[in-house]
Every structure is written in structure tokens, then in C-alpha cells.
């Protein structure tokens, strides 16, 4: 081959190599680029949805006033009384029974683990009275956890043995003032 023909051949080979490189790059890079664009679009959509949800949550968030915070603390103090207030627990359960026309003859109270107190007692009444008693115990302001129930029926009278657990605050619990200071700080420093 002459020199000119050799140069043309080399140029043709270079063009073929460049064309092959472009085709290979197109076949390899295009799917990766397309996946990257798809992932980016999906992440952008997720980000917009998250921002919208955050805006909705922020808009619906409730900020407690100091009075509302104090009322909440007072309700929690009733729901979970101090350790020394546990004697009133039996009185409260007896009052619930009395409001339903029933009587608790011999309740027993024992300290449990993890700031709990267990109360065991027997009670008798009609099915309606027993149901109303249990509904009242469950909806009482104080937190109660019914641990066990056993029932028997005798001449249209239901005899029920019940064990419930109540919660108590220890002396190391936060004071109302500390809670009142904490709650507004959580709500955005109001």
C-alpha cells in the first residue's frame, strides 16, 4: 500500500474505533443515565410528598398554653398518683362499686414491681352491674390495667374475682413546675 492509502486506512480504522466506542458507551451509559434520572425524579417526588406531609403536620400541631399544660399535668397527677396516695385507691374502687349498687367485702392491695400496685378483690352483682362496674374502672381517670378476671354464676348473681394493677409516681418524678416548663419547650418554645 502506498503512503496515502495507509493514511486513509488508519483514518478509517480510527473512525470505526470511535464509532464502536460511541455505540458501546451509548449501550452502557444510557441505561445507567436513564436509571439515575428515574431515581432522581422519584427522590424529588418523595421529597415533595414529605415536605407536604411535614407542612400538614406542622399546621395541625397543637401548641399548649401554660394553663393547658398545667391542666394536663394535673390530670396526669390524678391518673398516676404519688406513692403516698395509694390508700385512696381502695376507697376509689369501693366508690365505683357503690355507684353500681355493689359492695367489695375485702380488697387487698400489694406493691408490685415497676411503680405498680396490685389490687385483688371479689364482687357480686347482676350481669348489668358487673358490666357497668368494669366500664367505670376502665374509663376512670386513674390508669388501671385489668390483670385477671374470673367469674361464676349462682342464681342470676355473678360472682367475680378481679385483679387490677394501678400505677404510682415515685418521689423522684418530675414536679408540675418542671413539666409545665418542659411542655412549652417541646411545642416550639412558646
Spell out the domain ranges in the chain.
1-61, 81-167
pLDDT of res. 76 = 77
Question: What residues have CB less than 8 Å from 76, skipping those under 6 apart?
Answer: 179
Give residue-wise pLDDT tens across range 80-96: 777 656 667 788 888 88
Q: What is the mean pLDDT of residues 64-89?
A: 74
Of 80-94, 141-155, 159-173, which gets the smallest average pLDDT? 80-94
Pair 145, 83: CB distance under 8 Å = no
The closest of 80, 62, 63, 84 to 176, measured between CA atoms, is 80
Tell me if the pTM is above 0.85: no
Report the percent of the chain where pLDDT is more than 70.
81
Distance CA 139, CA 26 (A): 69
Distance CA 101, CA 125 (A): 8
**What CATH fold (topology level) applies to the domain 81-167?**
Alpha-Beta Plaits (3.30.70)
Amino acid at each position: 500500500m502506498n503512503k496515502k492509502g495507509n493514511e486513509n486506512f488508519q483514518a478509517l480504522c480510527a473512525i470505526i474505533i470511535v464509532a464502536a466506542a460511541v455505540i458501546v458507551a451509548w449501550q452502557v451509559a444510557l441505561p445507567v443515565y436513564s436509571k439515575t434520572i428515574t431515581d432522581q425524579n422519584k427522590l424529588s417526588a418523595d421529597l415533595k410528598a414529605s415536605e407536604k406531609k411535614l407542612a400538614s403536620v406542622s399546621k395541625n400541631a397543637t401548641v399548649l398554653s401554660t394553663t393547658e399544660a398545667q391542666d394536663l399535668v394535673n390530670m396526669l397527677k390524678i391518673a398516676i398518683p404519688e406513692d403516698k396516695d395509694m390508700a385512696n385507691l381502695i376507697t376509689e374502687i369501693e366508690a365505683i362499686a357503690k355507684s353500681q349498687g355493689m359492695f367489695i367485702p375485702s380488697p387487698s392491695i400489694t406493691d408490685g414491681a415497676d411503680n405498680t400496685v396490685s389490687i385483688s378483690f371479689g364482687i357480686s352483682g347482676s350481669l348489668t352491674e358487673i358490666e357497668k362496674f368494669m366500664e367505670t374502672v376502665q374509663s376512670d381517670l386513674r390508669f388501671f390495667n385489668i390483670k385477671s378476671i374470673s367469674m361464676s354464676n349462682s342464681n342470676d348473681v355473678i360472682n367475680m374475682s378481679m385483679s387490677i394493677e394501678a400505677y404510682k409516681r415515685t418521689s423522684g418524678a418530675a414536679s408540675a413546675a418542671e413539666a409545665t416548663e418542659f411542655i412549652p419547650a417541646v411545642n416550639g418554645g412558646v
